Amino acid sequence: MEKVLNFKQGRVPLLISMPHGGLRLTPAVQAGLIPEAQSLPDTDWHIPKLYEFAAELGASTLAAEYSRFVIDLNRPDDDKPMYVGATTGLYPSILFDGIPLFRQGLEPSTAERATYLQQIWVPYHQALRQELARLKAEFGYALLFDAHSIRSVIPHLFDGKLPDFNLGTFNGASCDPALAHQLEAICARHGEFTHVLNGRFKGGHITRHYGNPAEDIHAVQLELCQSTYMEEFEPFNYRADLAEPTQVVLRELLEGLLAWGQQTYKK
């Protein structure tokens, strides 16, 4: 297995997780994908590039190297469904559009998928847990921002056009409600973008599993419409002219997280 993650340790109590931006495939997955899936259309495209500025803030970053078509790092290892209705699992079998991901009979074997779990999923979550533990030990609390993006219109998954900024806190269970309201207020100041809190995307496994306000670990997921920073269809080009205004809001959200933490946990 090639390098499975890219971790950079920061200097402030914030970890940005990017589980769906990976592009690597295993030979078995590569060989079995239908032609429409070869371009990896369900990727959270360019997320590490979009959040490059986070290094200036001192945030730690954790990014996947393998595609979600191999294994989905934002699903539990027991593959229990995360959402009511149409969704994808730990080992995706369909595209977001609802069509089969693999040619018939060419899905990775059970043994291959067990390897993906041990060699891709487990290391990512070990790194995530270890960094959150380090942050809490050093600062007394930890902030987790799970960064995602998705096409703005996917009829199989949701009706109409998705709001630009979709904040998820598992209906208030993964972070202090005051923090969620502060982040929502930041989005509201930017009227050129639409936003929602705990709409269609309430936070996946990472947000739900690691967010624990009672233990001073606060997790927020952001599902960002790809139309705010890129061309949504192949070849999925990054658009700096779109991205720059979006990064203004992203920076304010991350700064808002840090400011809330400093104010709430000040000695």
pLDDT of residue 213: 98
Q: Are 168 and 198 in contact (CB under 8 A)?
A: yes
Structure tokens at 105: 């009979």
pLDDT of residue 36: 95
Q: Are 60 and 135 in contact (CB under 8 A)?
A: yes
> Beta strand 60-64 with 5-8: parallel, antiparallel or unpaired?
antiparallel
Architecture of domain 5-264 in this structure: 3-Layer(aba) Sandwich (3.40)
Q: How far is CA 151 from CA 17, 97, 162, 189, in A?
A: 19, 11, 8, 23
Cα–Cα distance measured from residue 124 to residue 121, given in angstroms and rounded to the nearest whole number: 5
Q: Is the pLDDT of residue 85 over 60?
A: no
230-233 long-range contacts (CB < 8 A, ≥24 apart) are 230/45, 230/46, 232/151, 232/152
Structure tokens at 121: 């999923």
Q: Please report which confidence band the pLDDT of residue 267 belongs to, taking 50, 70 and 90 as the band edges.
A: low
262 phi and psi, to 5 degrees?
-65, -40
Which pTM was predicted? 0.95
pLDDT of residue 83: 59
| 137-176 per-position pLDDT tens digit | 999 999 999 999 999 999 989 999 999 999 999 999 999 9
| 23-51 per-position pLDDT tens digit | 999 999 999 999 999 999 999 999 999 99
Strand partners, 221: 146, 168
| 245-266 per-position pLDDT tens digit | 999 999 999 999 999 999 999 8
Question: Which one-letter amino acid corresponds to residue 133?
Answer: A
The alpha carbon of residue 228 and the mean position of all alpha carbons in its chain are separated, in whole angstroms, by 16
